Amino acid sequence: MSVNSYTVQAVFFYIFAALIVGSALLVVLLRNIVRSAFALFFTLFGVAGIYILLGADFVGVTQVLIYIGGVLILIVFGVMLTHNVYSVDIFNKLGTLVMGTVSAIVTFTMIYYAIKPVSWLYIGYKANAPTTGPIGRELMTSYLLPFELASVLLVLAMIGAAYLIRSEVKVKKAAGNGGPPGERPADGIRKEN
């Protein structure tokens, strides 16, 4: 509660903020997409650090587990499965680049001037308590319906993803216009049927 602890908090905030912004810039600017994926790793870790700093331990751990352990692995898989990525020129034409920069700056300016003048109605200091128990209780009471819907959504997404990839292979086999050069496990399984 002392000034000292606030200063420590501020130092960590700026460290994580620098990590997030720096690596996010690398994500969007690097030419090599594999390196972009690795930069994304640091961005996601920085965001997890921000969550911990905000006293959201459960969300922070979830971020590490799902984003870094799941989403990032999926993205790296996507990069590897679609791999003439190196030859594809990653950036658009110069005009698009300029337009993208302008829209990003305009977006940030808008957000900045929307945030800056507001004086928020703080509820006062909130001690950092473990959140896992309360979140579990909330999920099983007030948020039970969204919780169940989320599980249904995840199953649907999983089935949908599997279906999308497999049905494509089946269509290709029927059309017979040649498969991709490297045979993938999914193709092999499909062709044995």
| Region 67-106 residues binding other proteins, contact defined as CB under 8 A | 67, 70-71, 74-75, 77-79, 81-82, 84-85, 88-92, 96-97, 99-101, 103-105
**How many residues line the site for other proteins (CB under 8 A)?**
92
Q: Is 144 in the site for other proteins (CB under 8 A)?
A: no
Q: Exposed/middle/buried for 46, CB within 10 Å: 0-12, 13-18, 19+?
A: buried
Q: Exposed/middle/buried for 65, CB within 10 Å: 0-12, 13-18, 19+?
A: exposed
Looking at this protein, which amino acid is placed at residue 191? K
**CA–CA dist 52, 59 (Å, integer):** 8
**CA–CA dist 43, 24 (Å, integer):** 6
| Region 150-179 residues binding other proteins, contact defined as CB under 8 A | 150, 153-154, 156-158, 160-162, 164-165, 167-169, 172, 179
Instruction: Tell the smallest beta-carbon distance from residue 192 to other proteins (Å).
Output: 18
Instruction: Tell the smallest beta-carbon distance from residue 136 to other proteins (Å).
Output: 10
Instruction: Tell the smallest beta-carbon distance from residue 32 to other proteins (Å).
Output: 10
